[in-house]
Amino acid sequence: MSAPYASFLHEYIAKCKAGEIIVGQELQQMFDILEENLRDPDIQFDTADAHKRIKLIETKCKHYEAPFSGKPFLLELFQKAFIEAIYSFKIFDDEIGRMVRLYQDILYLVGRKNGKTPLVSALILAEFFCGPEGLKALCSSNDYEQADLMFQAINSMREESKSLERKTRKNIKGIYFGNPKKPTHTGKFSYRNKGSIRKISAKTGAKEGRNIGVGAVDEVHEMKDNTSTMPIRQALSTQDEPLYIELTTEGFTNEGYLDGRMREARQVLNRELDRRRWLVWMYTQDNEQEIWRDEKTWTKSNPGLGSIKKWSFLRRMVEESKTNQEMRAFVLSKDFNIKQNNAAAWLMDQDIASEDVFDIELFRGAFAIGGVDLSKSGDLACARALMMKDGKKFTCQQYFVPASKIPTLSKDDREKFEKWTALDLVTISDGNENDFRHVTAWFVRLFKDYNIRFYKVGYDKWSATYWVKEMEEYGFDMVRISQEYGSLSEPMKLVKADLQSKLINYNQHPMDRWCLENTAFEINSKMEIRPVKVQGKDEKKIDGTVTLIFVYKVYIDNRTEFLDLVKRAG
């Protein structure tokens, strides 16, 4: 470390405040709190514990993934400053009767691919060796697979170092001290030390995490509430100096656990909430506009840009985001930590607009794929048939609604439904519920009147059991479709692409257009999407869009066989 800086943290703060390193306002606010700590006579600043762990990481740990595999884990300045901030501030604890680490609760928010999981993994490994004897650490996440990523990172670093591997062993349950080749060896790093590093899903924390010294929870943005994290935090309650770390990027779970933590974190930074033991270390943008105007600001949420994360990669992502709505939402959230609270608009007017019409007689004797969204029995439902000709997709559709629903609509929508009913575009059921026999009759009529043969009919899992049985008794092959991201993402993206390419002819059906206009999309951390209503339009309907996605789902899953039937039917 070069003079005149007293520590890595001092150097980092000084360079950030001088503008040599560009960081966001929220990290600057944390710096202000840390500088107040430095002036507080009740708080000591001692870097010995931090430097001990930094030295172990840089001399013993090695990277395990390309393009750095096998190379020493040399920490960046921002990473060293972060470690110093965790370990260097000490305060006297009256209950324990000695100086202890001030920060015991850590929130680390940073854009994806900035080395957050390897950093915290290395820190856990360093704590395992440098911390007290008998230290138990847990790697946790919302699911077991994500928790395993951190555990495997720790184990890979351990295996890359001969000196660390000689003092430890690994089995299916975790990592432990003691070399099986030298079972009689004594000392802190022998079998006598009952410390361990294990991995668990945060959901099982209440069962397995009863007494730990370190708990690290990865990707907390996916969690809906604190029922997964509280068992981990409570398992730290017996320790003199517990260390609880939440590391994450922003996510897409609206009003989830991270949203609550972020609100409280910002209250801490704004001095509206006193959480003295909480280190809030967040790499965030100050606003969205700066992302598009000045790429130099990208380091605010990506401190490893240029050294860990490639500029060329992020430039490609940003450029693609300018024309791809799904990519835009994903990049803003995962690369720049800008929460995408609202469902994003899915289609433009020009995507939906169509002047194409067709006569159902064109498809006499054809094969079709069916799709049904029954939704609630007292609400709008839709049935759809998809046919193909000359590489284009044609759909005919019918909507269904109970009579009691019409008076509850807004004046504008009520007038629309009265008009659509007069045009026989929607079938009205008496009373408060849809009579699903009308849906069955519609499919049967297409077969009897036009000899349209249905290959398969996709339906949502909420559909009435008795209706599905009725359809099967008529000979229809029914396929249940999940409305989760993984099921609907690919067909939803293909529907959009085909609409934009004018490969879908929905016969200018006004209810289809209405549903398409009401449709937005939600996105998850895997960049999968699913349909939702446009924000602020809860009373609007998207059932027609859902059935279009359903028939596409069946088409994608059975493309070869269905196209062969279409070809043979001529």
Q: What are the pLDDT digits (tens) for 77-124? A: 999 999 999 999 999 999 999 999 999 999 999 999 999 999 999 999
Burial 366-405 (b: 16+ CB within 10 A, else e): bbbbbbbbbbebeebbbbbbbbbeeeebbbbbbbbbbeeb
Lowest mean pLDDT: which of 225-239, 345-359, 479-493, 506-520?
225-239
- According to the model, what pLDDT value does residue 443 have? 98
What average pLDDT does the structure give for the chain? 91
Residue type, 257: Y
Q: What's the pLDDT band for 200 if we cut at 50, 70, 90?
A: confident
Which residues, at least 6 apart from 154, have a Cβ–Cβ distance to it below 8 Å?
Answer: 121, 122, 124, 125, 139, 175, 197
CB-based contact 301:336 (threshold 8 Å): yes
CA distance 131 to 124: 10
Q: Are 161 and 128 in contact (CB under 8 A)?
A: no
Percent of the chain at pLDDT > 90 equals 72
Q: Is the pLDDT of residue 205 over 60?
A: no
Band (pLDDT 50/70/90 cuts) for residue 141 is: confident
SS3 296: helix
Better-scored residue on pLDDT, 483 or 462? 483
Residue 193 — pLDDT band, cuts 50, 70, 90?
very high
Place of tokens 């957050």: 116
At residue 206 the predicted structure's pLDDT band, cuts being 50, 70 and 90, is: very low
The whole-number pLDDT of residue 204 equals 58
Q: What percent of the chain has pLDDT over 70?
A: 96
Dist CA 547 CA 542 (whole Å) = 9
Q: Residue 132, Cβ neighbours under 10 Å: how many?
A: 13
Residue 181, pLDDT score: 80
551, 386 Cβ separation under 8 angstroms: yes
**Whether pLDDT at 523 is above 80:** yes
Q: Residue 21 pLDDT > 80, yes or no?
A: yes
Give the CA dihedral 203, 205, 208, 213, nearest 10 degrees. Answer: 150
Residue 203 binned pLDDT confidence (cut-offs 50, 70, 90): low
Residues ≥6 apart with Cβ < 8 Å to 555:
369, 386, 491, 562
**Virtual torsion, Cα 533, 535, 537, 540, nearest 10 deg:** -10
- Residues 357-386: what's their mean pLDDT? 92
CA atoms within 13 A on the CB side of 137: 30
What is the arithmetic mean of pLDDT over 497-522? Answer: 95
- For 101-113, give one letter per residue: b (16+ CB within 10 A) or e: bbbbbbbbbbbbb
User: In this predicted structure, what is the pLDDT of residue 196?
Assistant: 95
Write down all domains in the chain, each with its CATH number in brackets: 8-334 (3.40.50.300), 349-569 (3.30.420.240)
Strand partners, 387: 394
Give the per-residue pLDDT at 202.
Answer: 55
Residue 235 has pLDDT above 50, yes or no: yes
Joined tokens for residue 16: 């950030």
* Nearest by Cα to 391 from 501, 507, 500: 501
455 within 8 A of 367, measured Cβ to Cβ: yes
The mean per-residue pLDDT over the stretch 428-441 comes to 93
Strand ranges in 463-518 using DSSP code E only, listed in sequence order = 478-481, 504-505
